Structure 1
Amino acid sequence: MSETELLQTAPVSISPAESERTPLIQQWAARHGIDAARRLAEAEDLADAVAQQITPDNTLDTYEKSWRVWERFCAATGLPESEGSRGALVAFVTWMLREGQHNGSGYAPASADTHLAAAVIGLRQRGHHVSADDQAAARKALAGLEVQLLKDGERRGRGKAVAGDIDGLYAIARSCPDTLTGARDKSLVLGGFHYASRASEPAGLLTGDVALRPRGLIVSVLTGKTKHSVRNARIAYQQDPEVCPVWAWRHYRERLIAEQGEQWADPSTPAYVGIDRWGHLTGGMGPDSVTRAIKRISARAGIPIAWTGHSLRIGLASTSRKKGKDAIAIADQGGWARHSRSMLGYMQIDDGWDDNASAGLT
């Protein structure tokens, strides 16, 4: 998760520590009376509870992991955990890049960026002051150290996932076996490509979340990652049935019910089911199993660089851009914020010639 995504998913207001709230309550009491101050304090408690409830589990998990990294840093350097000063934060990013991982190697800059942002949030949640200038100094140091790594010929991290494309969809459709697993695989990839799915999204779909309409499918995607992820993605019938996600969905669901029973038509059942090597159902698919399935499916199709769980998401943005689709329509389909930097980056994944500022000037 990037720093930008962390800031998007963090609660709008960070809960102040009790020591910081006490003067505020005293001010309320002076202005409005004791009873009103008590009710305002109760409203603050409610706001904290709501913020906790609506923060996605994966974001909370990131906070916890990053805070443990901060604790390890403080233990290694002898610095207090309660101080997010300029020097401490710069030392934190330096330590992460040099030796921060458990095995003594350095983190990739992107991971260090995530841990920095989450550690700052963790400090503030615990009532410790971190100024904007101190954060900026740490980010500037991180950017400079990343450039130095590149100059030294060191590149860390997995890099961006390869983008899915139309040729890959055809290869996958043709390689899926005539089995229930093959029908599920085909629907999983074709459908996920057309609504720019993250791996967590098909894993979270229920049968009732996918509605067949005269012109195609409406997929109700609710991940809770950002407010833009709550969307009804419309997937129209495609001209070529071979790679049509609507026909793939219909075939998969008809086969699932015919072979495994009418109970799988219940709206509360998982939309995509796990299937073992012997053809036995194992329940709903999880995000990790979706990622492994997409990698396996693309490898079976002979795609040179295996797709990952994010390839479908990148593929929708980049392919739609090449087809001349409006950026706002792409954002709405994939659940991005309009003018999202990550979406714009996906749109620019090509050979650098067609979408070039110097092309066609004279």
Structure 2
Amino acid sequence: MTDHQEHTVTGQLVPSSRQPDNRITHLHRQWAERHGVEAADRLASAEQLADAVAEQLVPQNTVDTYDKSWRVWQRFCSTQGFPETEGSRGALVAFVLWMLREGRGSTGYAPTSASTHLAGAVVRLRKAGIEVTKDDAGEARERLKKLATELKRHGERRGRGQAPAAHLDGVRQIAVTCDSSLTGLRDRALVLLSFHIAGRASEPAGLLATDIVAHERGLRVSVVVGKTELSVREVAVPYANVTVACPVRAYLAWRAALEATDPRFTKPDDPAFHTIDRWGHVGGAMSPDAVTATIARAAERAGIPIRWTGHSLRSGLATASRAKGKDALVIAAQGGWVPNSKSMMGYMRRADEWDDNASAGLA
């Protein structure tokens, strides 16, 4: 079996430098006995192709999370004297305890972060051909849940919690306080469009000009950098009744002003949103972090007392839509959520908890 194959992924030849893992080596021996060495080589190459395709289809932010989780696992193994290449039941439970007690040095991780790192470490162990059974990984997750409950019971709160949901008054206030400079036009368009598509910060960051098409009733937005299959979606954004807070007018005004500064911004593959420095110089596409920072600054400038993030606009759309009586399926389609998504339903409960309340009106 060859150690280096070239695989065709999304129309490109992608050389694979991966050494065949234990699973493929074992399969190769079985195939060679049944079908001969030449056929076994082809089947093993197909296995590596399947792995390469799977790797390319994993979103970059997920890859980054796995990398970070693996570094946390390596640090745990180094400080506790565990081998990195063993994912036993005891090692995983010890990993959970270590993360909650001292994983960040003098303090422990928040349970949500610990859960992410546990999942990432398990994925990486399995990708390396190391057996981690479902029962062992499941027990570590259950121990984490119970330990997290104990932390709450003892009054310990960790992590930032959920991003505060944006509200309509705040979104409109941001729109009003954005000035007519190129930066102000961009900020207004970014906040309003992100809110109306329920966008994660990575989604407006990944939009190209050609992904946003004017329609007589608004804009058609092709969100192509979604985190999941459902979040890659087509979103219709209608004109709003309040002119200053209209996402359609705001986006068209931003693009018209941008394109007037330089013909190169008229190209279809131009980023929908650009970085702009303090001197007004236009740069390349905004990163997700730049989108989050811009939203936070715009909210602070508008006098919103709680720091908003990119996710505030996403959760805010679900909350505000629910408060207006929109159906859950319509909200899910707009934001690319799975119908009855746990996270989406959590956002919507914020809108329901006062009006649809068991004790409301009883006294």
Match of 1:197 among 196, 199, 209: 199
> Partner of 2:21 in structure 1?
18
User: Shift in Å at residue 359 of structure 1?
Assistant: 6.0
1:257 aligns with 2:221: no
- Aligned partners of 1:289, 1:19: CA distance in 2, in Å? 42
Match of 1:56 among 44, 56, 59: 59
> Partner of 1:152 in structure 2?
154
> Partner of 2:219 in structure 1?
217
Say which SS state the counterpart of residue 55 (structure 1) adopts: coil
Contact kept in structure 2, 1:186 and 1:248, CA below 8 Å: yes
- Structure-2 change in CA distance of 1:356 and 1:25 (3 Å): farther
> Partner of 1:309 in structure 2?
310
Which ranges of structure 1 fall in alignment gaps of 5 or more residues? 1-14
User: Shift in Å at residue 28 of structure 1?
Assistant: 3.1
State the aligned residue count. 345
Say which SS state the counterpart of residue 291 (structure 1) adopts: helix
Task: List per-residue Cα deviations over 1:275-300 (Å, max 9, x = no partner).
Answer: 22222212221111111110110111
Task: List per-residue Cα deviations over 1:141-173 (Å, max 9, x = no partner).
Answer: 111111111122110001111111111122111
> Partner of 2:163 in structure 1?
161
> Partner of 1:6 in structure 2?
none
- Aligned partners of 2:164, 2:354: CA distance in 1, in Å? 18
> Partner of 1:355 in structure 2?
356
Contact kept in structure 2, 1:17 and 1:125, CA below 8 Å: no
Task: List per-residue Cα deviations over 1:59-115 (Å, max 9, x = no partner).
Answer: 1111111111111111111122222111111110000000011x3311111000000
> Partner of 1:345 in structure 2?
346
User: Shift in Å at residue 20 of structure 1?
Assistant: 2.4
- Aligned partners of 1:233, 1:219: CA distance in 2, in Å? 5
Q: Given residue 335 of structure 1, which amino acid in structure 2 is its aligned partner?
A: G
Contact kept in structure 2, 1:201 and 1:223, CA below 8 Å: yes
Contact kept in structure 2, 1:164 and 1:316, CA below 8 Å: yes
- Aligned partners of 2:235, 2:227: CA distance in 1, in Å? 16
Contact kept in structure 2, 1:93 and 1:142, CA below 8 Å: yes
Say which SS state the counterpart of residue 158 (structure 1) adopts: coil
- Structure-2 change in CA distance of 1:351 and 1:299 (3 Å): farther
Match of 1:46 among 27, 45, 49: 49
- Aligned partners of 2:230, 2:224: CA distance in 1, in Å? 9
- Aligned partners of 1:270, 1:287: CA distance in 2, in Å? 13
> Partner of 2:180 in structure 1?
178
TM-score w.r.t. the length of structure 2 is: 0.90
> Partner of 1:3 in structure 2?
none
> Partner of 1:124 in structure 2?
126
RMSD: 2.0
- Structure-2 change in CA distance of 1:350 and 1:326 (3 Å): closer
> Partner of 2:210 in structure 1?
208
Say which SS state the counterpart of residue 350 (structure 1) adopts: helix
Percent of aligned pairs sharing the same letter: 57
- Aligned partners of 1:333, 1:360: CA distance in 2, in Å? 33
Q: Given residue 131 of structure 1, which amino acid in structure 2 is its aligned partner?
A: T
- Aligned partners of 2:154, 2:21: CA distance in 1, in Å? 47
Match of 2:103 among 100, 103, 111: 100
Q: Given residue 154 of structure 1, which amino acid in structure 2 is its aligned partner?
A: E
Contact kept in structure 1, 2:20 and 2:48, CA below 8 Å: no
> Partner of 2:9 in structure 1?
none
Which ranges of structure 2 fall in alignment gaps of 5 or more residues? 1-17
Q: Given residue 341 of structure 1, which amino acid in structure 2 is its aligned partner?
A: K
- Aligned partners of 2:217, 2:44: CA distance in 1, in Å? 52
Say which SS state the counterpart of residue 326 (structure 2) adopts: coil
Say which SS state the counterpart of residue 350 (structure 2) adopts: coil
Contact kept in structure 2, 1:16 and 1:124, CA below 8 Å: no
Residues 81-96 of structure 1 aligned to structure 2 (within 5 Å):
81-96=84-99
Task: List per-residue Cα deviations over 1:275-330 (Å, max 9, x = no partner).
Answer: 22222212221111111110110111111212111111001111112222222222
> Partner of 2:3 in structure 1?
none
1:65 aligns with 2:68: yes
Relative contact order (C-alpha < 8 Å, sep 6+): which is higher? 1
Q: Given residue 64 of structure 1, which amino acid in structure 2 is its aligned partner?
A: D
> Partner of 2:140 in structure 1?
138
TM-score w.r.t. the length of structure 1 is: 0.90
